[in-house]
Structure 1
Amino acid sequence: MQEAYVALGANLGDREASLRNALGRLAAEPDIEMLGISPAYETAPIGYTDQPSFLNMVVRVGTGLQPIELLRRLLAIEREMGRVRDIRWGPRNIDLDLLLVGDTRLDTPELTLPHPRMGERAFVLVPLRDVWPENVDFPWARELAEMSLEQEGISQWADWASELELGQ
């Protein structure tokens, strides 16, 4: 079993319901154990900015799945929830991004690990820091310290971790 980190985001429809739905689907996967859930943060869009604000969060999971299989499960959840991909960085009802799987380094057409742009994005680094194990140095601490969260347009929305049962 290895740890993996998954970023979740939504900015269409009932964003909170979409994140909760995705969390439930992840927790129901037989080879995925939820280990940590960050608070949800409201964040300004980047790239394509003519769209509503996002709710973003990160979950820490334990899994025996290989990274490609874990990615495929995440993409299946997106499809089941009606995700449509038509504008890069555009609006979406749900987005599940695989950020890290253990210390795996991978660069294939299907998957790059660690996620290639995560160190540039407060909407990933802030919730990732929230679920990062306390006894392990956070490798993006400098990048996060250099970001102005106000300028990045990020603020805490809600914390549901206490509502959900987590594995230890």
Structure 2
Amino acid sequence: MSQHKVILLLGSNLGDQKKNLETAIEKIKGRCEILNISEFLTSEPVEFVSSNIFCNIALIISTALSPIQLLDFVKNIEVEMGRTNDSKASGAYCDRIIDIDIVKFNGLKFLSERLEIPHQKNLYERDFSKILLNAFI
């Protein structure tokens, strides 16, 4: 089984945000190897209005999962942690206990209804993610 180098971006703006991110990281470690972790970064919500500040972190992982298998894995973590809505399904952003985005997957370009790799908004449009990813890219 070949290993894939993947960049994930995690965010939380409900409850104990840092604890939520740490819990998600522990769950990711169950199926993936963590190669690098950024510092925590707080940021204002993007593309929606909320009084809840986000805490974000970026990871580099190694995984044998395919892009869709990895997407299913991280979406399951979100549900396990109590996330009840998905912005892809609802078409709108809102407060969330955890959000896990696949930003890059090796050098792969992939597009489906559920997943776009590389994640264009996180790479090129969102200031907080550019700050977090700067050390990795």
TM over 0.5: yes
Report the CA distance between 1:50 and its aligned residue: 2.5
How far apart in 2 are the matches of 1:114 and 1:15? 25
Q: Which residue of 2 aligns with 1:84?
A: 84
Q: Which residue of 2 aligns with 1:99?
A: 103
Q: Root-mean-square deviation (CA), in Å?
A: 1.3
How far apart in 1 are the matches of 2:35 and 2:107? 17
| Preserved contact between residue 51 and residue 90 of structure 1 (Cα < 8 Å) | no
Gaps of 5+ in 2: none
How far apart in 2 are the matches of 1:51 and 1:28? 33
Amino acid in structure 2 at the alignment position of 1:127: L
Report the CA distance between 1:65 and its aligned residue: 1.1
Report the identity percentage: 30
Gaps of 5+ in 1: 133-137, 139-168
How far apart in 1 are the matches of 2:60 and 2:50? 31
Amino acid in structure 2 at the alignment position of 1:24: E
Of the two, which has the highest radius of gyration? 1
SS in structure 2 opposite 1:46?
A: coil
Task: State which of 126, 129, 135 in structure 2 corresponds to 1:124.
Answer: 129
Following superposition, which runs of at least 4 residues in structure 1 exceed 3 angstroms of deviation?
none
| Preserved contact between residue 33 and residue 63 of structure 1 (Cα < 8 Å) | yes
Report the CA distance between 1:85 and its aligned residue: 1.1
CA offsets 1:90-132 (integer angstroms, 9 cap, x no match): 10010001111001101111111101211101221111123x1
How far apart in 2 are the matches of 1:107 and 1:25? 26
| Preserved contact between residue 51 and residue 91 of structure 1 (Cα < 8 Å) | no
Q: Which residue of 2 aligns with 1:72?
A: 72
SS in structure 2 opposite 1:24?
A: helix
SS in structure 2 opposite 1:98?
A: strand
How far apart in 1 are the matches of 2:125 and 2:18? 24
Q: Which residue of 2 aligns with 1:48?
A: 48
Amino acid in structure 2 at the alignment position of 1:73: F
SS in structure 2 opposite 1:123?
A: helix
SS in structure 1 opposite 2:48?
A: coil
TM-score normalized with structure 2 length: 0.90
